[in-house]
Chains A and B, each alone.
Chain A
Amino acid sequence: MGIFVNKNTRVLIQGITGKEGSFHARACIEYGTKVVAGITPGKGGQKMDDVPVFDTVSQAVKETGANASLIFVPPPFGADAIVEAADSGVDMIVTITEGIPILDMLKVKNYLATKNCRLIGPNCPGIITPGECKIGIMPGKIHKKGNIGVVSRSGTLTYEVVDQLTKAGLGQSTCIGIGGDPVTGTSFIDVLAAFEADEDTHGVVMVGEIGGSTEEQAAAYIKKHMTKPVVGFIAGLTAPPGRRMGHAGAIISGSSGTGAAKIQAFRENGVHTCENLGEIGRICKTIF
């Protein structure tokens, strides 16, 4: 089962004929994801392998019954693509695109508040429910079906964590990268709440990083609302203040957003804290 996506999810891909879009469309299909449509304005009527291509998202939704979108368009068109997906009526929008201007995302986020759909990302690896559905760019092979939920702000760091879990014999219910931007569609708390409610998830690994205060809010939420064990990790304890560490959102501003404050929030709220990435598999094995 897992959360948000499963074997019944019908996916359309915006930007399917681009280099990245076609590469990952094939990888998703190979994994078993139901990719039912692709969108590239001006290429409607063509096909990408066996996938029909449409000019607009609403056409694709009408003709194929797609209920989720995966977005690969370049950053200047990112906001437009998300709003088009939201207006077409899909329930789930996964945006991989890195580099969408923050003011674009502010508007999009405030607009989506009036819509009934979930945005994951931008600047994220996507979401996977192992054995059922992969909507994103993560390597499918490292995942294994199981009962641990994973939520993270990062890409390759998530793969590292998942790989260690799998090697430790701990399969995953669903793994979600919520994205490394300052403004993201889905928050840690949204995902934690869904994991808490999901029967197939027995424990959660939460991977945060410096910048902002969403880990602190999540820690408070965990104490108040979660009965399932949570293991937390924070990347960037050695990061200097005032510098953007690759991710647009990973920056310590003044005294806010430090790794130390997040670790402290984890500890004070009963989150099992892992301070060395090399040991996260072993620690999870002990706790779960």
Chain B
Amino acid sequence: MKIHEYQAKELFRKFNIPVARSGVAFSKEEALKISVGLGGFPVVVKAQIHAGGRGKGGGVKLAANPEQVLTIAEQFLGMTLVTHQTGSEGRIVRKVLVEAGQSIDKEYYLSLLVDRQTEKIVIMASQAGGIDIENVAEKTPEKIFKVYVDPLLGIQGYQMREVGFRLGFPAPAMKQLYGMLFNLYKFFVEYDASLVEINPLILTSGGTVLALDAKVDFDSNALYRHKDLLEFRDFGEEDPMEVDASRYSLNYINLDGNVGNIVNGAGLAMATMDIIKNAGATPANFMDVGGGASSEQVENAFRIILADPKVKAILINIFGGILRCDVFARGVVEAAKKTGVNIPVVVRMEGTNVEMGKQILAESGLNLTSASDLLDAAAKIAAAVN
């Protein structure tokens, strides 16, 4: 689960990870009020969306006086911000962070994440901070170094020293950096983060270390033990259809194509999208109803996809294991009766209780096309939309 920069900084403060004074505003008037309370100008106004590259995209601006705060906040609030991480459709800005301006002496990059390959928590750091780190990683990977922390031991003193020395940190500021690293690691494990990224981490001309930006992603599987994080979820940043699907524990992702599809199991769902593409059509979604879906879940999956105006035909691909084909078929029939189906539906079912499932569909009176195998299903669905 992603959160906004202003929320991440709120959490940072609780863990004594130093950040600049700031406040979040939902209107230009609030922005003005916060800016005046920060104790001096310039201040920085930062658009709050769940994507990186905001600076480059024009979503971060310096305001030299209260009038400029008003102008910038007015411009930001309600605008669609496009960055290299949002895709061309961009994201609507609904709030801004107003932060005290800093006199920057040096910028660094620092992040903590789970490394799948070594199965450790990795600290990544670089002296090339403040710029697009993916670019640095691609063009000058030698400028980024990694320190691997054993999750059973936690962060060690020598590892914090290594980060400090390799960053070329000035001696008087070293202690501040150690404190920050220690607290960041603590924050990472206590809150089950999967990514904490600070870009840039700065050293001010006064010699203070600050996290000038904060990007945090949490492990969704661990949210059950962090109920306080749930209030940070921003539904405005999510696709409404995906939010709807998540209420029924359906794995759904809205895509650009016109072939809706419902599949049980994530791997098979991905492969089904690929098959649709192979047959010359494009998938409108990823929909995994799960290995052991109930009739109710299936019904909702069908309803959500039918409600999608870009869907011109639906491919149902079920391999019954735990999810029995008869349970699935009943869900489809219920949903179809409630919503009404006026687009072609191709059904391919295999596995547990397949005969019962086929019988339920056949006796439902619904206009469904059945497919004998995957290739047949793909050909029929492509013919339906092309």
- Give residues in A with beta carbon < 8 Å to B: 20, 75-76, 99-104, 106-107, 109-111, 125, 137-139, 142, 152-160, 163, 180, 182-183, 207, 209-210, 212-213, 233, 235-240, 242-243, 245-250, 254-255, 275-279
Cβ distance A19 to chain B, nearest Cβ, rounded Å: 10
**Could you tell me the distance between the alpha carbons of A163 and B189 in the complex, rounded to whole angstroms?**
42
The answer to whether A210 touches B291, judged by C-beta atoms less than 8 angstroms apart, is: no
The answer to whether B352 touches A139, judged by C-beta atoms less than 8 angstroms apart, is: yes
Identify A103's interface contact among B151, B255, B275, B374, CB under 8 A. B151
Number of A-B contacts (CB under 8 A): 171
The answer to whether B286 touches A101, judged by C-beta atoms less than 8 angstroms apart, is: no
**Could you tell me the distance between the alpha carbons of A237 and B283 in the complex, rounded to whole angstroms?**
12
- Chain A residues with Cβ below 8 Å from B85 are 242
The answer to whether B277 touches A237, judged by C-beta atoms less than 8 angstroms apart, is: yes
The answer to whether B221 touches A247, judged by C-beta atoms less than 8 angstroms apart, is: no
Kindly identify, within residues 355 to 386 of chain B, every residue whose CB is under 8 Å from any CB belonging to chain A: 373-375, 378
**Could you tell me the distance between the alpha carbons of A112 and B169 in the complex, rounded to whole angstroms?**
37
- Chain A residues with Cβ below 8 Å from B273 are 236, 238-239
For the A-B complex with A137-B291, A155-B291 known, give 10 more contacts whose Cβ atoms are closer than 8 Å. A125-B321, A155-B266, A156-B264, A182-B114, A209-B267, A212-B117, A235-B270, A240-B255, A243-B286, A254-B137
User: Which residue of chain B has the shortest Cβ distance to A156 in the bound complex?
Assistant: B265
The answer to whether B267 touches A152, judged by C-beta atoms less than 8 angstroms apart, is: yes
Identify B270's interface contact among A76, A152, A209, CB under 8 A. A209
Q: Chain A's interface: helix, strand, loop or mixed, by majority?
A: loop
The answer to whether B268 touches A154, judged by C-beta atoms less than 8 angstroms apart, is: yes
The answer to whether A277 touches B274, judged by C-beta atoms less than 8 angstroms apart, is: yes
**Could you tell me the distance between the alpha carbons of A99 and B186 in the complex, rounded to whole angstroms?**
23
**Could you tell me the distance between the alpha carbons of A245 and B265 in the complex, rounded to whole angstroms?**
10
The answer to whether A157 touches B271, judged by C-beta atoms less than 8 angstroms apart, is: yes
The answer to whether B253 touches A75, judged by C-beta atoms less than 8 angstroms apart, is: no
* A-B CB proximity, top 9 nearest: A154-B267, A246-B266, A156-B265, A157-B267, A278-B374, A101-B222, A278-B375, A236-B270, A235-B270
* Interface residue? B246 (CB, 8 A): no
Identify A245's interface contact among B134, B266, B282, B373, CB under 8 A. B266
| Given A106-B114, A110-B150, A160-B319, A277 contacting B221 (CB threshold 8 A) | no
The answer to whether B270 touches A156, judged by C-beta atoms less than 8 angstroms apart, is: no
Identify B253's interface contact among A139, A158, A207, A243, CB under 8 A. A243
| Given A159-B351, A250-B266, A110 contacting B151 (CB threshold 8 A) | yes
**Could you tell me the distance between the alpha carbons of A13 and B253 in the complex, rounded to whole angstroms?**
35
6 contacts between A and B (CB under 8 A): A106-B121, A156-B267, A156-B321, A163-B351, A246-B270, A250-B270
Cβ distance A142 to chain B, nearest Cβ, rounded Å: 7
Cβ distance B29 to chain A, nearest Cβ, rounded Å: 35
User: Which residue of chain A has the shortest Cβ distance to B278 in the bound complex?
Assistant: A276
The answer to whether B351 touches A277, judged by C-beta atoms less than 8 angstroms apart, is: no
* Interface residue? B59 (CB, 8 A): no
The answer to whether B253 touches A157, judged by C-beta atoms less than 8 angstroms apart, is: no
* Interface residue? B5 (CB, 8 A): no
Kindly identify, within residues 308 to 330 of chain B, every residue whose CB is under 8 Å from any CB belonging to chain A: 319-322
The answer to whether B319 touches A100, judged by C-beta atoms less than 8 angstroms apart, is: no
Cβ distance A1 to chain B, nearest Cβ, rounded Å: 25
Cβ distance B272 to chain A, nearest Cβ, rounded Å: 8
- Chain B residues with Cβ below 8 Å from A20 are 292
The answer to whether A103 touches B114, judged by C-beta atoms less than 8 angstroms apart, is: yes
- Chain B residues with Cβ below 8 Å from A137 are 291, 321-322
| Given A103-B189, A103-B192, A106-B151, A155 contacting B265 (CB threshold 8 A) | yes
Identify B286's interface contact among A111, A182, A239, CB under 8 A. A239
| Given A75-B221, A155-B321, A245-B253, A277 contacting B151 (CB threshold 8 A) | no
Of B221, B255, B274, chain A has the most CB atoms within 10 Å of the CB of B221
Cβ distance B276 to chain A, nearest Cβ, rounded Å: 8
Cβ distance B5 to chain A, nearest Cβ, rounded Å: 18
User: Which residue of chain B has the shortest Cβ distance to A180 in the bound complex?
Assistant: B266
- Chain A residues with Cβ below 8 Å from B152 are 107, 110-111
- Chain B residues with Cβ below 8 Å from A111 are 152
- Chain B residues with Cβ below 8 Å from A277 are 271-272, 274-275, 374
- Chain A residues with Cβ below 8 Å from B194 are 102
- Chain B residues with Cβ below 8 Å from A107 are 151-152
| Given A125-B321, A246-B286, A275-B278, A142 contacting B351 (CB threshold 8 A) | yes
| Given A109-B119, A275-B278, A277-B275, A102 contacting B219 (CB threshold 8 A) | yes
Identify B116's interface contact among A103, A182, A245, CB under 8 A. A182
The answer to whether A156 touches B291, judged by C-beta atoms less than 8 angstroms apart, is: yes
Of A182, A183, A212, chain B has the most CB atoms within 10 Å of the CB of A182
| Given A139-B352, A235-B271, A246-B288, A278 contacting B221 (CB threshold 8 A) | no
Cβ distance B361 to chain A, nearest Cβ, rounded Å: 19
The answer to whether B274 touches A100, judged by C-beta atoms less than 8 angstroms apart, is: no
Of B263, B264, B286, B320, chain A has the most CB atoms within 10 Å of the CB of B286
**Could you tell me the distance between the alpha carbons of A240 and B282 in the complex, rounded to whole angstroms?**
13
- Chain B residues with Cβ below 8 Å from A183 are 114, 116, 119
- Chain A residues with Cβ below 8 Å from B263 are 156
Per-position binary interface string of chain B over residues 237-271, scored 1 when its CB falls under 8 Å from any chain A CB and 0 otherwise: 00000000000000101010000000111111111
User: Which residue of chain A has the shortest Cβ distance to B257 in the bound complex?
Assistant: A238
**Could you tell me the distance between the alpha carbons of A136 and B194 in the complex, rounded to whole angstroms?**
29
* Interface residue? B224 (CB, 8 A): yes
* Interface residue? B161 (CB, 8 A): no
Of B137, B224, B271, B277, chain A has the most CB atoms within 10 Å of the CB of B271
Of A109, A125, A182, A238, chain B has the most CB atoms within 10 Å of the CB of A238
User: Which residue of chain B has the shortest Cβ distance to A248 in the bound complex?
Assistant: B221
Per-position binary interface string of chain B over residues 70-114, scored 1 when its CB falls under 8 Å from any chain A CB and 0 otherwise: 000000000000000100000000000000000000000000001
The answer to whether B116 touches A210, judged by C-beta atoms less than 8 angstroms apart, is: no
